[in-house]
Amino acid sequence: MTKTNQPDGPTQVEIFRRMALLKANDERARKVIRSGRVQMTYYSYRGQEVIPAAMSVNLTDKDYLCTIYRGIHDMLAKGIPLRDLWAEMAGRVKGTCKGKGGPMHLTYPSKGIMVTTGIVGSSMPIANGLAWASQLSKDGRVSVATFGDGASNIGAFHEALNLAAVWKLPVIFLCQNNQYGEHTAFAKATAAKHVADRAVSYNIPGVRVNGNDPYEMYAAARQAVERARAGEGPTLIEAVTFRFFGHVFGDADKYMDPAQKAAAMAADPYPAFRSKLIADGTATEAQLAEIEAKIEKDIDDAVEFALDAPFPDVAEVTRDVYGATA
């Protein structure tokens, strides 16, 4: 890693702040669901905080994000307001989609958060469309499509990479390889040894990084963003990480290797990065504790805001719905 793609001190602290927000929000979501105060389908992203935190600091509000149902961490890192997020997760009218989308269909265009898809692999073709619009309008925007390792076996993955390569679209394909596609280990469902190796088929850069290392992730993201903005086309990034819990909240995760899971949790990137910032003199314990305390208060506020908000009126069932007339 060269000095040009090494995050400076303030950027490292900002990456930590975003990681702290993602970690605390996931912990609160699981706690609130267990309490029975909110009922929702929830896909924990705990353990994957580095990837969106280090990617998002290289993006602007105008850059586009297309993510998936395990993508709340992507959206938080990109800047979705906590109140709006929690109101939508709780199905309340003050949410980003009036409470009608829930945690699997969040959107917030003013921060470039364009779509959350419930269809595996569909973030990529949509990101291509947004990138093509940017290319035509010459607005300098970059589109990022995030997806899991399982989606790299979907036809849309190959179609999207091929088209983006042919047209040199300003798009980044970010695979968060958390070792499991739903209930199946990566090696049992994917013939390729690495997702990044597939980039060679489309003559684009394929970069495989340690998705739990903020410095590696930042460097890869920065290079891909600069390449896209310069009109040099797409990049495929495979960020290797590990999800600490099962596919969906309540999943007993019996299909996961217990030793592998224990080792991954022992190497939790959040406390590791926190300790490094202090050891390097980049931040003090007091500074980081203050960041964490503020985040907890902000989440307290967001949860109460959401639970105090009303549910959508029944009339909302027929609003914002596209339909053809006879």
Helix, strand or coil, per DSSP, at residue 91: coil
Q: What are phi and psi of 325, to 5 degrees?
A: -100, 155
SS3 of 134-201: the string is HHHHCCCCCEEEEEEHHHHHCHHHHHHHHHHHHHCCCEEEEEEECCEECCEEHHHHCCCCCHHHHHHH
Q: What is the pLDDT of residue 1?
A: 39
Q: What is the average pLDDT across 85-109?
A: 93
- Tell me: the pLDDT tens digits for 152-197? 999 999 999 999 999 999 999 999 999 888 888 888 888 889 999 9
- Domain-embedded: residue 317: no
Identify which of 205, 189, 185 has the alpha carbon closest to the alpha carbon of residue 197. 205
Q: Pick the residue with more confidence: 188 or 81? A: 81
Identify which of 75, 96, 78, 79 has the alpha carbon closest to the alpha carbon of residue 87. 96
- Domain-embedded: residue 266: yes
- Tell me: the pLDDT tens digits for 129-143? 999 999 999 999 999
Is 325 a residue whose pLDDT tops 80?
no
Q: What is the pLDDT of residue 253?
A: 87
- Tell me: the pLDDT tens digits for 22-58? 999 999 999 999 999 998 999 999 999 999 999 999 9
pTM for this prediction:
0.94
- Tell me: the pLDDT tens digits for 188-246? 888 889 999 999 999 999 999 999 999 999 999 999 999 999 999 999 999 999 999 98
Helix, strand, coil tally for the chain in percent (to 5): 50, 10, 35
CATH at residue 159: 3.40.50.970
- Domain-embedded: residue 171: yes
Q: What is the average pLDDT across 293-320?
A: 94
Domain that holds residue 236: 9-35+45-65+116-304
Q: What is the pLDDT of residue 120?
A: 87
Identify which of 53, 65, 54, 61 has the alpha carbon closest to the alpha carbon of residue 1. 54
| C-beta separation of 58 from 121 below 8 A | no
- Domain-embedded: residue 79: no
If one counts the domains in the chain, the total is 1
Is 293 a residue whose pLDDT tops 60?
yes
- Domain-embedded: residue 130: yes
| C-beta separation of 106 from 88 below 8 A | yes
- Domain-embedded: residue 281: yes
| C-beta separation of 242 from 47 below 8 A | yes
Q: What is the average pLDDT across 253-266?
A: 92
CA 314 to CA 311: how far, in whole Å?
9
Is 2 a residue whose pLDDT tops 50?
no
- Domain-embedded: residue 325: no
Q: What is the average pLDDT across 248-259?
A: 88
Q: What is the pLDDT of residue 76?
A: 98
- Domain-embedded: residue 162: yes
* Residue 4 pLDDT class (50, 70, 90 cuts): low
